[in-house]
């Protein structure tokens, strides 16, 4: 089963604009991670935020986490055509005992040059 | 290249045949995961190993699926009597885990795409 649900499912923006993707999840977590996937390729880790953190930055990426609402957002600033990809949130569940990440269904981002 | 490698990258088979995928993780990683991904969906967890021990299997992993990780190194995922519904990308990932850190970053291979005719 997939815990995270990303919103929107698809997003199309112009180069230079910011892209915001949201993720909601259902269970308590140890951490939440965001991954990127180019078409037909494997996933690449972008950023990890722990349950006791509220915001984290990495280059043009900004991630927020609200554990009370069980939600996270990924902001990509000053987007580039090369940012075109699918983006997935993944949760490390705390109470289920699972020791594998549970992925959401993804947001497909298209950045128009 | 010291990343996660998967073989083959593409496999086309006829329904009812058996297929096997191989994954070579990053050498110092102690955990190895198998996920399945269908078009337009996120990866779905299948199973994972801590060293050579298979510690969890998803209900998605029917009795036609078997995974091994002999000697805690490479892993194989075998699907017996393939069905058209098995068509998907099979992704392998590895990680280095410590008890205090929980499940950290996963390093994925490029995947093995299976098409069952």
Mean pLDDT of residues grouped by 10 in chain B (117 residues)? 90 98 94 95 94 88 92 93 97 85 87 97
Q: Is the confidence at residue A2, as pLDDT, over 60?
A: no
Residues in chain B: 117
Per residue in A27-43, pLDDT (tens digit) is 899 999 999 999 989 99
| Residues of chain B found within 8 Å of residue A42, distances taken between Cβ atoms | 4, 91, 108-111
Interchain proximity A88–B31, CB inside 8 Å: no
Instruction: Give the pair of three-digit tokens for residue B28.
Output: 């110092």
- What is the rounded radius of gyration, in angstroms, for the C-alpha atoms of chain B? 14
Q: Are B111 and A42 in contact (CB under 8 A)?
A: yes
Q: Is the confidence at residue A96, as pLDDT, over 90?
A: no
CA distance B86 to B81: 10
Whose tokens are 């009812």? That residue is: B16
| Residues of chain B found within 8 Å of residue A2, distances taken between Cβ atoms | 41-42, 44
Q: Are A85 and B87 in contact (CB under 8 A)?
A: no
Would you state the pLDDT for residue A3?
A: 59
Percent of chain A with pLDDT over 70: 96
Interchain proximity A99–B43, CB inside 8 Å: no
pLDDT confidence bin for A1, thresholds 50/70/90: very low
| Residue B57 near chain A (CB below 8 Å) | no
């Amino acid at each position: 089963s997939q815990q995270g649900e990303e919103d929107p499912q698809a997003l199309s923006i112009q180069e230079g604009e910011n892209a915001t993707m949201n993720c909601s999840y259902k269970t308590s977590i140890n951490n939440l991670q965001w991954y990127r996937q180019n078409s037909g390729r494997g996933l690449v880790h972008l950023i990890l935020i722990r349950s006791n953190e509220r915001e984290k930055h990495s280059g043009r990426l900004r991630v927020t986490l609200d554990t009370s609402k069980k939600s996270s957002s990924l902001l990509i600033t000053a987007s580039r055509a090369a940012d075109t990809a699918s983006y997935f949130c993944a949760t490390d569940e705390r109470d289920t005992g699972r020791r594998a990440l549970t992925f959401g269904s993804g947001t497909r981002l298209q950045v128009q040059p | 290249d010291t990343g996660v490698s998967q073989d083959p990258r593409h496999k086309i088979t006829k329904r009812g045949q058996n297929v096997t995928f191989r994954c070579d993780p990053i050498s110092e990683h102690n955990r190895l995961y198998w996920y399945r991904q269908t078009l337009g969906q996120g990866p779905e967890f299948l199973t994972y190993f801590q060293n050579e021990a298979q510690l969890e299997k998803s209900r998605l992993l029917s009795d036609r699926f078997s995974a091994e990780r002999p000697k805690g190194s490479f892993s194989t995922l075998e699907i017996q009597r393939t069905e058209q519904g098995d068509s998907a990308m099979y992704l392998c990932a590895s990680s280095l885990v410590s008890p205090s850190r929980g499940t950290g970053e996963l390093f994925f291979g490029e995947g093995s795409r299976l098409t069952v005719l």
